[in-house]
């Protein structure tokens, strides 16, 4: 059965999920493009698929390194189901790159509590978040999570509060130099902040409304359950659990503030929601309920393809 297949982590899962992403791209994303499959667009196809597969590997590494779930592949399976259910994600390279750099930032941020190379990790985190914000300005909100980490970590000092600003201005200066040389624009940053958009009319389309409703339902149900999970985890694991919950809240705010609503903005929430939902699924004692949920989340994006 499908739930049992992902219950233990195996290398074959990456092959299965990679193939699932590829099939999802060709059935979901390509029909949304103005031109059907063309030879000239192959690099674009490979880039989108390659970025998503790489993010699956990064997410899996973060989960295993920090023990965010039990030893299973539910989280990366759910992540792929969420992505395939909203094919507009594949066609938004800016959001794809932004979420990739946020995952790289989160990888460094979540390991601060180990107490090793704290200043370097804080700098790297600020650096990656700043790069992510170049592709989608709303990603800068994750700096809030970084400062929360500095406040909560027993290994940081007052001087460490300046490190995120150093990382941010390092990227800012490099971006300014690039714009000055490539486009002869020194004041590029005046157009960097994006207007907040609250026009959700695109969600009236059933092909977007259904996955969005499912994601929202999972967010509310598993998010509430996750709060009770945090109360029962060990003291050592609590900081990482709070990081996942805080990351989900900020990701939701980032998605809601996106200037243009295409559905791709939901991608910001998916890594965090996948981990939190996996925590819920792996704790379900009844095997048939776990199986039903897994099959529902697999069939949901397949159903969306034909809407």
pLDDT, position 230 = 87
Number of domain units in the chain = 1
How much is the average pLDDT of 130-152? 94
Q: How far apart are CA 215 and CA 211, in angstroms?
A: 6
> Which residue range forms the structural domain that includes residue 277?
2-305
Q: Integer distance in angstroms from the first to the last C-alpha of the chain? A: 27
Checking if the pLDDT of 173 tops 80, the result is: yes
CA 293, CA 159: separation in Å to the nearest integer?
47
> Residue 298, SS3?
helix
pTM, entire model:
0.94
Q: What does the pLDDT read at residue 33?
A: 63
Sequence-separated (6 or more) residues with CB below 8 Å from residue 230: 238, 241, 242, 245
By CB atoms closer than 10 A (0-12, 13-18, 19+), residue 216 is middle
Question: Do the beta carbons of residue 243 and residue 110 sit within 8 Å?
Answer: yes
DSSP codes joined into one string, 172-202: HHHHHHHHHHHT--S-GGGG-SPPP----GG
Q: Give tens-digit pLDDT for 52-65.
A: 999 999 999 999 99
Lowest pLDDT segment from 60-64, 101-105, 108-112, 151-155: 151-155
Q: How confident is the model at residue 32 (pLDDT cuts 50, 70, 90)?
A: low
Separation CA 30–CA 49 (nearest Å): 12
* Helices within 74-117 (DSSP H only): 74-85, 93-109
In whole angstroms, what is the distance from residue 251 CA to residue 220 CA?
14
Which pLDDT score is estimated for 229? Answer: 85
State the Cα–Cα distance between residues 258 and 62, nearest whole angstrom. 26
Indicate the pLDDT class of residue 38, thresholds 50, 70 and 90: low
Q: What average pLDDT does the segment 204-233 reach?
A: 91
């Amino acid at each position: 059965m499908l739930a049992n297949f992902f219950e233990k982590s195996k290398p074959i899962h990456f092959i299965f999920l990679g193939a699932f992403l590829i099939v999802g791209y060709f059935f979901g994303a390509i029909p949304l493009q103005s031109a059907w499959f063309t030879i000239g667009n192959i690099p674009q196809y490979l880039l989108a698929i390659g970025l998503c597969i790489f993010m699956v590997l990064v997410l899996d590494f973060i989960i295993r390194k920090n023990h965010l779930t039990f030893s299973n592949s539910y989280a990366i399976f759910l992540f792929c189901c969420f992505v395939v259910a909203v094919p507009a994600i594949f066609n938004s390279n800016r959001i794809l790159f932004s979420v990739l750099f946020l995952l790289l930032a989160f990888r460094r941020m979540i390991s601060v509590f180990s107490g090793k190379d704290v200043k370097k990790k804080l700098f790297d985190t600020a650096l990656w978040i700043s790069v992510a914000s170049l592709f989608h300005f709303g990603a800068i909100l994750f700096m809030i999570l970084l400062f929360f980490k500095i406040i909560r970590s027993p290994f940081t000092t007052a001087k460490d509060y300046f490190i995120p600003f150093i990382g941010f201005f390092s990227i800012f200066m490099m971006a300014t130099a690039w714009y000055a040389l490539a486009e002869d624009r020194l004041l590029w940053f005046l157009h960097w902040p994006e207007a907040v958009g609250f026009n959700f009319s695109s969600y009236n389309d059933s092909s977007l409304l259904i996955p969005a409703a499912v994601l929202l339902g999972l967010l509310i149900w598993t998010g509430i359950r996750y709060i009770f999970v945090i109360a029962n985890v060990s003291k050592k694991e609590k900081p990482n659990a709070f990081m996942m919950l805080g990351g989900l809240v900020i990701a939701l705010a980032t998605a809601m503030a996106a200037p243009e609503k295409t559905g791709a903005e939901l991608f910001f929430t998916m890594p965090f929601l996948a981990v939190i939902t996996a925590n819920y699924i792996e704790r379900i004692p009844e095997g048939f309920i776990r199986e039903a949920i897994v099959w529902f989340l697999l069939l949901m994006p397949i159903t969306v393809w034909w809407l």
